[in-house]
Structure 1
Amino acid sequence: MKFILSLFLLLYCTVSFSQDYYQSDIIIYGGTSAAITAAVQAKKLGKSVIVVSPDQHLGGLSSGGLGFTDTGNKSVIGGLAREFYHRVYLHYQTDSAWKWQKREEYGNKGQGTPAMDGENRTMWIFEPHVAERIFEDFVAENSILVMRDEWLDRTTGVRKEDGRIKSIKTLSGKVFEGKVFIDATYEGDLMAAAEVSYHVGRESNATYGETWNGVQIGVYQHRHYFKNPVSAYQIPGDPTSGLLPEISSEPPGVNGQGDTRIQAYTFRLAMSRNPANRVPFEKPENYDPARYELLARVYETGWDETFDKFDPIPNLKTDTNNHGPFSTDYIGKNYEYPEARYSEREAIIKDHEIYQKGLLYFLSHDPQVPQKVRDKMAQWGLAKDEFKDNGNWPHQIYVREARRMIGDYVMTEYDVLGDKEVPQPIGMGSYSLDSHNVQRFVTEDGMVQNEGDIGVHPKNPYSISYGTLIPKKSECENLLVPVCVSSSHTAFGSIRMEPVFMILGQSAAAAAVLAIESGLSVQDISYSKLESILLQENQILSLKY
């Protein structure tokens, strides 16, 4: 016992702790990919760190089903993010990695780039369990202390003195004291509890002089809308019969107008078509086929794109994403999520799960679905070797957007689209301004339509400002926020990609270390010193490097 305790103290020599009290240089709240890269960077720069994770599984969406990575221009992904994708590549170079499929049978299809890039020794497409193993390896190799299933007390759990967070307390009663804190959650719970300004929903176009913010009726930049007319009513054409399920009765608003609605959430499913590794789609509790009547009517119009986003990942699996006018996105059912209590969020997540499981059962069993679709769906099931402790269902819902900080610098679509020079760059993004649908409404002529889906491509990769990670100094001097960054809805639509979150997590940790060593607030550190550190750590900050 003494030997085990001595070993533990050696591993975490600069972390002080008692039964319910822990002290470290840096406290990271969250278990996302950004949280882990931040922790690794902090340890590399010689600081003690504790990851306080509400999650049991590390990696967020990267290990939660989103294996068909939204890379954009992969050349601007550097640092620990590139190291992650390099480790994915190394894993799939081994014969043992290909249990259900021969390597040469894998098509190497990626999201705008080949899945496997032999020249740069990176791989951008992967199975969920592979990603989780890499994050766990990062933790073990760097002797990072991770406290799992620890949920911030959002009511009284943040203690501040003189504009700085002194400690946070979790619902279990544990207290974590640090010099600098990093909120790496998808929801921004620590940021909110620390009374930092933030926004939920879409700003109006007038707020920042943007074009693609606010309500976007009639904007169809992907294929996720009702291309052919479909009546919104139980009896087609008869408003007195009532609306079909999954359609809002609220007016959609006026184009460019801000609202508190947020883009739809979903689960990114790992599905298998190998008979030995698939679990059939079961009928969920309280299954009601009537709630999928809209999809049946879409099929009646001749729509035939059911399988267009069954994106292949290794071993005959998919990362299954939303596609089309009625799909896995549960539109309009997540508006309360960002501010909801934990129990309320749990109910929202369960509601999404039931909806999506019902949809899978409908697609594979209901006679209103074309026979050829049902026959093909019969070849698929949930991957038996993924999420084994959760009934093969992802442990992380896709929180595409929740709170967004209003911080020292607000990124807008002008920054992303290259219309202005971004100050103090600490990483890069390149994906399109991408928002999934926000609402499903009734048009003036009684038809159903979706709204909110946009996809506007930047001309070039763009820099992300350090100011997006830091609150206003008057609100908090020792907090960094690399996920719920300071940006408009439209800019966040591009920033919100998993490789970028890893990049920003790493950069946030480097800034935290500088703040500690200089004795300054995170707002007052030397950018030139931060830039030097990030370049040494192989971050790519702008197109000039």
Structure 2
Amino acid sequence: MKGRSITSLFGSILLTILVLSCSQPSTDKDADVVIYGGTSAAITAAVQLAQMDKSVLIVCPEKHIGGLSASGLGFTDVGDKSVIGGLSREFYHRVYLHYQNEDAWNWQPRSEYGNEAQGTTAINDSMQTMWTFEPHVAEQIFEEFIAENSIEVLRDEWLDRENGVEMEGKQIKSITMLSGKTFKADIFMDATYEGDLMAAAGVNYHVGREANSVYNETWNGVQKGHFHHSHNFHHQQLNISPYVIPGDPSSGVLPRISTEPLGENGTGDKRIQAYNYRLCTTDAEGNVEPFEKPENYDSAEYELLRRIFRAGRHAMFGGGRIPNGKRDVNNVGPFSSDNIGMNYDYPEASYEERKAILEEHINYHKGLLYFWGHDESVPKELRENFKKWGLAKDEFVDNDHWPYQIYVREARRMIGEFVMTENEIMGRSPVKQPIGMGAYTMDSHNTQRYITEEGYVQNEGDLGVEPEQPYQIHLGTILPKKEECENLLVLTAVSSSHIAFGSIRMEPVFMILGQSAGVVAGMSVDKGKAVHELKYEDIKQELLNADQILSADRRL
């Protein structure tokens, strides 16, 4: 120490520490993984990451998490239940456990509910599952997942879709909300039904129906003359005039009937399948919130339905029974809760424009409910019976008992590393890198209501094509193309054609894809590699360790 003071030596050491610390990789991030969106897929992804000891943050526009599973869709569309594994299966197991408690049956004896068609099902001796449930029960289970795994959720945070995604090369560096809050991470996930983060990051996507020629399909594009369900005028054998004065085109067209060209069969268009709200209704005495007349009610909006009733065809409540004397109400028949043709702009719309579209759907749906209970075209006996029903008072209690989310059956769909098509769903093309399985029918609701050459009204787009067996879902469906973005995973607006998405879009599958995405993201952080650089065989092993089912011959 000759020639140097203690003070100068201390200063030199301090300077060295500062230089070294500045040369180290930045740890200026909010979490290893930031998930945008609060859907069921977001929850399973976050739980998987937490169980891999990764820091994860959910940032979402929703105040209530769980997506459609917690917003009215309690009569689960599944298909072959035996291929549902991992956290998705755990969710339905917890539903089963909840309803084993007699205290869960407030409005109906448990014995009265019985073993519904989609009720209690054994996957194996140790994992009983139940596939019908009340919305608040689903939300409670998702909140338990969050609490048990100490996952932070920031709610009512809306992505700045214009300027809120900062890119550094082909990676997302940060995302900023309209509130001004900015979040940084190694990996980002888009868990929105709309694909908002994906789009803002510049990832390629498609809206609408591809032509059959794009992916060598049969059931994509316009499907005039194909009637797979009863949600049309053909099955009902109804020849109904679309004009204000029946048979007189000069009198104008009734509301909610398109005058646009139909398009040739198999050609693509920008039309997407109709949206509705999955209401939770009940006739249990003491729990009924009566359907009210909306302020802007106009019975002329339902003249087409009036003509259907006068023709002797009556259909009101689709969907199915769920516990406690309730019903998950879905669309049924040629004119019902699906607001056909009124959602085309929704996927790309601004937040304000989407709000207006949602208000249009809500007003239409509430008016429909009032019509069913009061219009004289509805037989009196049906009207009186309908008035016994209403919204369940103990559901959506801070939203006037109306579901929190509209049923976004389809919006943007990524064009990623691999595009799932009907060829994979139907088993015609192999899937070499599966991350989960699906089994449900390729199901599309109507996309348009048009006027036939004979001068009658008809619906188009409603399809149901069932695969012969469960199918595998490719890893590339959640990965953007590497040249577009290297640190993003897309959990819900996945890479698939319109008709393939009709099967993949089921909530149990979204939960599967969410967990698998969590595995991929966790491995990427562990190995310090981009998600595209991971070896599939390594991913596969981790998925199996997480109880995911990747092939039909590994059923539990």
> Given the alignment of the two structures, is residue 467 of structure 1 paired with residue 506 of structure 2, yes or no?
no
Structure 2 counterpart of 1:535, one-letter code: L
In the alignment, structure 1 residue 155 sits paired with structure 2 residue 165: no
Question: Could you tell me which of 281, 290, 309 is aligned with 1:299?
Answer: 309
TM-superposed CA distance for 1:107, in Å, is 3.9
CA distance in 1, matches of 2:201, 2:474: 22
Counterparts of 1:399 and 1:145, CA distance in 2: 26
Cα deviation, 1:428-466, whole Å, max 9, x if unaligned, reads 000011000000011111100000000000000000000
Instruction: Give the deviation of 1:133 after TM superposition.
Output: 0.3
What's 1:102 paired with? 109
Residue number among 58, 62, 81 corresponding to 2:65 in the alignment: 58
| 1:353 paired to 2:355 | no
Partners of 1:281 and 1:532 lie apart in 2 by 52
Partners of 2:224 and 2:431 lie apart in 1 by: 30
Give the secondary structure class of the aligned counterpart of 2:186. strand
Q: Distance in 1 between matches of 2:175 and 2:112?
A: 50
* Unmatched runs of 5 consecutive residues or more in structure 1: 1-15
> 2:306, 2:98 → 1: CA distance?
42
Q: Quick one: which of 520, 526, 539 aligns to 1:517?
A: 526
Aligned mates of 1:22, 1:292 — CA distance in 2: 53
Give the residue type in structure 1 aligned to 2:281.
M
Following superposition of structure 1 onto structure 2, how do residues 382-393 of structure 1 map, counting pairs within 5 Å? 382-393=391-402
SS class of match (1:440): strand
In the TM superposition, residue 117 of structure 1 has moved relative to its aligned partner by 4.2
| 1:226 alignment counterpart | 233
Q: Provide the C-alpha distance between the structure 1 equivalents of 2:415 and 2:531, rounded to a whole number of angstroms.
A: 15
Q: Is the 8 A contact 1:89 1:116 kept in 2?
A: no
Structure 2: how far apart are the matches of 1:310 and 1:85?
19
The aligned counterpart of 2:247 is 237
Work out the CA distance in 1 between the residues paired with 2:381 and 2:225: 32
Q: Distance in 2 between matches of 1:236 and 1:90?
A: 55
Aligned-partner Cα distance in 2 for 1:417–1:225: 25
What's the secondary structure of 1:275's corresponding residue? Answer: coil
Tell me how far 1:482 sits from its aligned partner: 1.3
* 3-state SS of 1:276 partner: coil
Q: CA RMSD in A?
A: 1.3
Corresponding residue SS for 2:473? strand
Alpha-carbon distance between aligned partners in 2 of 1:313 and 1:215, rounded to the nearest angstrom: 34
User: Residue 72 of structure 1: CA displacement?
Assistant: 0.8
**CA contact 1:199–1:406 (8 Å) conserved in 2:** yes
* Kept in 1: contact 2:120–2:128 (CA 8 A): no
Equivalent residues in 2 for 1:309-320, closer than 5 Å: 309-320=318-329
Aligned match of 2:186 in 179, 184, 187? 179
Per-residue CA deviation, residues 115-168 of structure 1 (Å, 9 max, x unaligned), is: 454954111000000000000000000000100000000011001112111110
| CA drift at 1:279 | 0.6
Distance in 1, Cα, partners of 2:246 & 2:466: 38
| 1:71-150 equivalent positions in 2, closer than 5 A | 71-110=78-117, 113-115=118-120, 117=122, 120-150=127-157
Query: How far is 1:109 from its partner?
Result: 2.1
Shift of 1:22: 5.9
2:308–2:314 contact (8 Å) kept in structure 1: no
Superposed structure 1 runs of 4+ greater than 3 Å apart = 113-120
Give the SS at the match of 1:327. Answer: coil
Cα offset, 1:304, TM superposition: 2.9
> For the Cα contact (< 8 Å) 1:163–1:476, is it kept in 2?
yes
Code of the residue aligned with 1:521 in structure 2: it is A
Distance in 2 (alpha carbons) for counterparts of 1:398 and 1:306: 18
Q: Which residue of 2 aligns with 1:370?
A: 379
The answer for the alignment partner of 1:208 in structure 2 is: 215
- Asked if the contact 1:116–1:125 (Cα under 8 Å) also holds between the matched residues in 2, the reply is no
2:435 corresponds to which of 409, 420, 426? 426
Map 1:21-32; keep pairs closer than 5 Å.
23-32=30-39
Q: Computing the radius of gyration over CA atoms, which structure comes out larger, 1 or 2?
A: 2
The 2-side partners of 1:376 and 1:444 are apart by 38
1:285 aligned counterpart, secondary structure:
coil
1:67 positional shift = 0.2
- Secondary structure (helix, strand or coil) at the match of 2:543 reads helix
Q: Which amino acid aligns with 2:89?
A: R
AA paired with 1:289?
A: S
Match of 1:34 in 2: 41
* Paired position in structure 1 for 2:16: none
SS state of the match for residue 161, structure 2? coil
1:451-490 matched pairs, under 5 angstroms? 451-490=460-499
Aligned to 1:529: 538
Q: Do structure 1's residue 414 and structure 2's residue 443 form an aligned pair?
A: no
Give me the whole-angstrom Cα distance separating, in 2, the residues matched to 1:334 and 1:446: 25
Report the CA distance between 1:294 and its aligned residue.
0.8
Contact persistence 1:418–1:462 (CA under 8 A): yes
2:388 is aligned to 379
- Secondary structure of the equivalent of 1:28? strand
Report if aligned partners of 1:22, 1:175 keep a CA contact under 8 Å in 2: no
Q: Is the 8 A contact 1:215 1:258 kept in 2?
A: yes
Q: Does 1:325 align with 2:325?
A: no
Distance 1:365 1:117, change over 3 A: farther
For structure 1, which segment, 370-379 or 354-363, has the greater mean C-alpha deviation from structure 2 after superposition?
Answer: 370-379
Structure 1: which amino acid aligns with 2:261?
Answer: P
* Superposed displacement of residue 544, structure 1: 3.0
TM-score, normalised with respect to structure 2:
0.93
Residues 1:502 and 2:494 aligned together:
no
Task: Measure the CA separation in 2 of the matches of 1:279 and 1:242.
Answer: 38
| Residue 268 (structure 2) pairs with residue 258 (structure 1) | yes
Once residues 304 and 327 of structure 1 are traced to their aligned partners in structure 2, the CA distance between those partners, rounded to angstroms, is 11
Aligned to 2:7: none
Q: Counterparts of 2:121 and 2:209 in 1: how far apart (Å)? A: 36
In 2, distance between residues paired with 1:446 and 1:400?
A: 30
Q: State the AA in 2 paired with 1:214.
A: G
- Is the 2:415–2:496 Cα contact (8 Å) retained in structure 1? yes
Q: Note the C-alpha offset of 1:300.
A: 1.9
Query: SS of the residue aligned with 2:30?
Result: strand
Per-residue displacement from partner, 1:375-412 (whole Å, max 9, x unpaired)?
22111000000000000000010000000000000000
Amino acid at match of 2:257: I
In 1: Cα distance, 2:515 partner to 2:420 partner: 19
The partner residue of 1:68 within 69, 75, 79 is: 75
In the alignment, does 2:279 pair up with 1:272?
A: no
Instruction: Check conservation: 2:347, 2:411, Cα contact below 8 A.
Output: yes
The answer to whether the Cα contact below 8 Å between 2:96 and 2:120 also exists between their aligned partners in 1 is: no
SS in 2 for 1:338: coil
User: How many angstroms apart in 2 are the aligned matches of 1:25 and 1:423?
Assistant: 29
Instruction: Report % sequence identity.
Output: 61
C-alpha deviation, 1:360, in angstroms: 0.2
Structure 1 counterpart SS, 2:178: coil
